[in-house]
Amino acid sequence: MAGTRVLAVASRILRDYGRVLGQIEPGCAALPRSFLPHPRGAIQEATLRVLATLSPADEGLRDALIRGFVFLAQFVDDDEAEKVAEGQAQMDALALEAGAQPQSPQAHDALRIVNQIKVEMEQALMQACQAAKIPLSRAPSLLK
């Protein structure tokens, strides 16, 4: 009974998170954590719990949960999301000037945060594959 209740709560959390993902515009490198409907840790726990219960026939759902789990790394503290937005705006302006390199502190802050997100995404992919009991060699195809 308790296991069923836990899965019901996990499903609700993931449904709420899925609604948020459906409203996000593609191409954002960092998003404010305040956009999340539940704490990031609760979404991570719910995803891992559900992944562990899926059968091999649930491949589509499994892959969608893994992508959502990996994407969760892009939700950062609100001030960091703002720094990335500011830095990206400066880098986009510099890109218009052929070959210009970002030198501003804002651009460097943005690059540091984006690189941190990339590392977290890679770690999340490994963790999700382990929970779903699928080989990491299959991971690149999951994110397409």
The pLDDT tens digits of the residues spanning 107-121 come to 788 889 999 999 999
Provide the pLDDT for residue 137: 81
Contact 44, 72 (CB under 8 A): yes
The pLDDT tens digits of the residues spanning 5-24 come to 888 999 999 999 999 999 99
| pTM of the complete model | 0.85
Work out the number of other CB atoms within 10 angstroms of the CB of residue 2. Answer: 6
Who has greater pLDDT, 92 or 25?
Answer: 25
User: Residue 100 to residues 80, 103, 115: CA-CA distances in angstroms?
Assistant: 24, 9, 20
Say whether pLDDT at 123 is over 90: yes
Supply the mean pLDDT for the chain: 86
Provide the pLDDT for residue 136: 81
The Cα angle at residue 118 between residues 112 and 124, in degrees rounded to 5:
135
Provide the pLDDT for residue 127: 95
Distance of CA 50 to the CA centre of its chain: 17
Task: Grade residue 87 by pLDDT with cuts at 50, 70 and 90.
Answer: confident
Tell me what the mean pLDDT of segment 32-40 comes to: 96
Provide the pLDDT for residue 82: 92
Q: 92's torsion region: left (phi>0), alpha (psi -120 to 50) or beta?
A: alpha
Cα 101 to Cα 53: distance, rounded to the nearest angstrom: 48
